[in-house]
Structures are given as C-alpha cells and as structure tokens.
A and B are shown apart, each in its own frame.
Chain A
Amino acid sequence: MAVERFPVEAGHIMLFARAIGDTNQIYHDADYARGTEPGSVIAPPTFVQASAQFNPDYFLRPKPGQPWFGSGKEPTGVTRGEGGGGGGLHAEQHYIYHRHPKPGDVLTATVKPGKTWEKQGRRSGKLIFTESITEYRDQHGELVVTSRGVGVTTERPVDQS
C-alpha cells in the first residue's frame, strides 16, 4: 500500500520483534547493536509490512466513528456488502533487500499493480490472485526494500478437512 511517510522507530522495531518472538538484541539494544556488523539497530526482515500503521486509510484498522466488521454487541459491525471486506488472504510475499531499514530512516512506499490471475482451488473454490509491487525508498530517495505481495480472494472459507 502507498504510504507517504513511514518513520522507522526503535520502539516500533522492538514491538515488532517481540511479536515474532525474536529476542535478538540487535532489535532492541542500541549499545549492543553498535558492536555488530550493521553497526546499529536494524529492522527484522518482514518489518516493512508494518508500514500499514502509517497509511491513514488502511482498511484493516478500525477508525473512530466508522463501522468495523469485527464483533462488538453483534458478531460483526457491518451487514454484508457494507464496507469492511477482509475475505482476502495473503498468498505470497517476496522481498529484495537493498539495505536493511534502521531507526531514523523515513521511508516512502509507492505501489505498482502487478498481474491478476484466477485458479480453481481444491479447498476454497475459485481463487482470484492479485499481485502488487511496493518500493520502499529512504529520505534520500534510495531504494531500501522492494516488496512483491500476492493476495488471494477465495470463493468460500478454506476447507480444513
């Protein structure tokens, strides 16, 4: 998704590393990180996905005063066809690292649409795949990470049997 300003922050990297259960000191200890090859705290390999936090319109974040499709008084806060969505799943994710982001970087993300294709799935009916390419650039305009994501919309929930 396009993001105009994605400031890479040490606290955010620490929280992200905790969420993936990664206790590597390079993600939370600046003193330790100074003595490593990168020379500073760096972001874990999948961190740029958290740029969603800096997209003001990101559709998978509840917003004050707007209906949300998760549960509250009712199992969902929207009726079918009204906003929300979320029937999509992540099918593939690919990264090319030109360098690894670090605290102090201010990234931008620009998105180019990729291919779209269909497939008949054994466990979830017709699958529609959509690819997008996201370029993360730093405050100097230099490419930091190239991301290629593939999303899939399923006809019905994936059969678990």
Chain B
Amino acid sequence: MALSAKTLKVGDTHQEIVVDNLTRTQLVQYAGASGDYNPIHTDEVYTTQVAGYPSVFAHGMLSMGVTGKMLTNYVGDGRLATFGVRFTRQVWPGDTLTSTATVQATREEDGVHFVDLIVSTVNQDGTEVASGYASARIDA
C-alpha cells in the first residue's frame, strides 16, 4: 500500500474531494476539537454585524486539516515528513473542496527514500484556497 520509489513518476497525481458542501456544523466541530473558538468561524451574528464578513468562514487550519487527509490517504499513515501551506482564499459554508498532490521528485537521503509533492486545494470554482508542499517517506 505504501508508495514506492520504483513506481512513482514525476507528474503522478492523487486527488480527492475532501469537503462536500461545507456545513456550519463542521466549523463548530473544528472549533471544539481544535480549541480555536474565534467567533468569525461559528457566530454568524458577530461575523456579519461586527467583523464585516458576509458569513462565518472556515478556520485556515480546517482547510489544511482536510488537505492533510488527502495526503495521508495517498502516502500512508505516519509517513509524512513535512507539510506546509499558504492560505490563499477563505473557505465558506457550502464550499466543496478538492485536494491534489502532484509528484515533484523522488530522492534518497541516507538510504531512506522520499517523495516531494506539490499540494493544492481548490474550491468548486477552481479557485485555490490552500497552496503548498509536502514530503513523505516511501518504500524503495
């Protein structure tokens, strides 16, 4: 099941829908689990009337969290070595997000094989909401 340096090719991709029609309830779940209770993510009254946004919106870390789900499904459990993103657009209730990993390179360091990935998550309009990279340990 683990990825292998023998079979991976530059340009290979793995893609998943990681959120389908994001609910406000999922934002509540994420606030509760992560401990980030900033009302801009769960409190429509505050967010529209005080913060000046059209509605509550997702924690950046929820975008990263669901992107990470795609990565661990691809590279296997416990294999991620690095993972980083820039949050390029806000994510709103109703959004559907698709995450893609693209193989940029494979390499060997001290006898351990790694894959370097380009990571991108887009919304239903194709607008990128998180843009980044990851690397993971792979089999020989």
Q: Is the CB of B50 within 8 A of A20?
A: no
Chain B residues proximal to chain A, CB less than 8 Å: 2, 18-19, 26, 29-30, 32-40, 43, 45-46, 49-54, 59-62, 64-66, 68-69, 71-73, 76-87, 90
Q: Is the CB of A92 within 8 A of B18?
A: no
Q: Is the CB of B64 within 8 A of A93?
A: yes
- Residues in A whose Cβ lies below 8 Å from that of B90: 158, 160
Q: Is the CB of A37 within 8 A of B76?
A: yes
Q: List 20 A-B contacts (CB under 8 A).
A: A16-B33, A20-B62, A21-B18, A22-B65, A26-B77, A37-B76, A44-B72, A45-B80, A46-B64, A52-B34, A60-B37, A62-B37, A69-B46, A70-B46, A71-B43, A76-B46, A92-B84, A93-B87, A148-B84, A160-B90
Within 8 A of B (CB), among A38-68: 38, 42, 44-46, 49-53, 55, 58, 60-62, 68
- Residues in A whose Cβ lies below 8 Å from that of B38: 60, 86
Minimal beta-carbon separation of A147 from chain B (angstroms): 10
Residues 19-40 of A, flagged 1 when their CB comes within 8 A of B and 0 if not, give 1111010100000000011100
